[in-house]
Structure 1
Amino acid sequence: MHRVGLTGGIGSGKSTVANVLQECGATVLDADHISRMCTQAGGAAMPDIRHHFGDAFVAEDGSMDRDRMRTHVFANPQAKQLLESIIHPRVHEELERLVQTSRADCVVFDVPLLVESGRWRSRLDTVLVVDCAYETQIARVMARNGWPRHQVETVIAQQSPRAQRLVSADGVLWNDGIDLPTLQALVLGMARRLGL
């Protein structure tokens, strides 16, 4: 089984690339989705989140208050580390469980913070980075999420610098100034090199 790590900054188009790889036959495991499952009402991380952060960070429905937590951890690096120490082990455990049940020849780990975590490289055969210009990231996220520019810039500042992601890459997909069919063609070419 070939293990591929897929990463990229917010707004880079990573999810689109993941969808095309899945259409090519890869099993795509979305770390963000698993993280959200852990922090929804009844999720595996919620007892520890409530214990360490308090009821103020739990929404009325019993899930983690994502907006409040995002604001808190961006302003407080120790809180960020604590939250990651609660969520990341559960995400890794679930990812490994899903790998064991996959029959695909290629598993793609869609991990936004792959480079930042420092724990992934030894578990992967290939790292793919989806990249675009800084201003493109900002424009895409503002249009997609309705966030103000400063909020997008804050998120980008919390992620690895582009140069650090690119240094870690075995392959780079440049997703800027191109249309969707062109991106899909690039991903298909990458998929062929991965044996899909």
Structure 2
Amino acid sequence: MLKVGLTGGIGAGKSEVSRLLGSYGAVIVDSDRIAREVVEPGTPGLAAVVEEFGAGVLAADGTLDRPRLGELVFGAPERLAALNVIVHPLVRRRAAELEAAAAPDAVVVHDVPLLAESGLAPHYDLVVVVDASRETRLERLVAVRGMTPEQARARMDAQAGRDERLAIADLVIANDGPLEALEPRVRRVWDQLRARAGH
């Protein structure tokens, strides 16, 4: 089994790379998706979040009100740390379960947005970084996600810098161009990953 860490700054195109790798046959372990699953209604994770932050973080239907929780923790390091203490162990446990269920010769890609920030790079056999310029990422966040330029800059500034991400990279996928230019690059990286996994 080859354990791959996949990361990239917001707006770099990591999700599209993850989707392509999955379509080629990689086992994708998506940290963001797992982070949502572990705080679904009825989970111990959601109960712990409500205990820490109060019932005000619940929407009318009993689900987690993510924007409201985001307001509480964004720009408040101690509140964010309290949230991470709850969610991160649950995410790690579920990711380990998914990895353990993969075939022995699988390429398991852990899609981890904050890989550079978390210091987890050494846990993977290699790290793939999806890279795009700050200008490209800003344009995408405004055009595709509907953020204001100020919101986009704040989100980018809350993450590790480009140099920090590139410093942990074993392989880099440049993604400043159009989507059709990305696919051949991802395919080349996939071929490299399969070779490393002994295929």
**TM-score category, normalised to shorter length:** over 0.9
SS in 2 for 1:75: coil
How many Å separate the matches in 2 of 1:152 and 1:63? 26
Count residues with an aligned counterpart: 194
In structure 2, relative to structure 1, the CA distance for the partners of 1:156 and 1:43 (3 Å cut) is: farther
What's the CA shift for 1:75?
2.1
TM-score norm. by structure 2 comes to 0.93
What RMSD, in angstroms, separates the aligned Cα atoms of the two structures?
1.3
TM-score for both structures, normalised by structure 1: 0.94
Shift of 1:69: 1.5
| Structure 1 counterpart of 2:152, one-letter code | V
Whether 1:123 aligns to 2:123 is: yes
By how many angstroms is 1:43 displaced? Answer: 3.2
Deviation at 1:38, TM superposition (A): 1.6
Question: Partner residue of 1:107?
Answer: 108
Deviation digits for residues 79-100 of structure 1, max 9, x if unmatched? 0111111101000000000111
Letter paired with 1:72: L
Amino acid at match of 1:93: R
1:43 and 1:6 mapped to 2: Cα distance? 27
Residue 145 of structure 1: CA displacement? 2.0
In the TM superposition, 1:47-196 aligns within 5 A as 47-103=47-103, 105-118=106-119, 120-176=120-176, 178-195=177-194
Q: Secondary structure at the match of 2:44?
A: coil
Cα distance in structure 2, aligned partners of 1:157 and 1:57: 25
Distance 1:147 1:44, change over 3 A: farther
Q: Is the 8 A contact 1:42 1:63 kept in 2?
A: no
Cα offset for 1:181?
A: 2.3
Encode CA deviations 1:9-34: one digit per residue, 9 max, x unaligned: 11110011111111221101110001
| 1:32 to 2:10 alignment | no
Q: Is the 8 A contact 1:41 1:61 kept in 2?
A: no
Is 1:11 equivalent to 2:11 in the alignment? yes
Structure 1 outlier segments of 4+, above 3 Å: none
Q: Which one-letter code corresponds to 1:184 in the other structure?
A: E
Helix, strand or coil for the counterpart of 1:28?
strand
Partners of 2:81 and 2:188 lie apart in 1 by 38
C-alpha separation in 1, matches of 2:156 and 2:43: 27
Question: Percent identity at matched positions?
Answer: 37
Whole-Å separation in 2 of the counterparts to 1:165 and 1:44 = 33
**Structure 2 stretches of 5 or more lacking a match?**
none
Structure-2 separation of matches of 1:147 and 1:155: 10
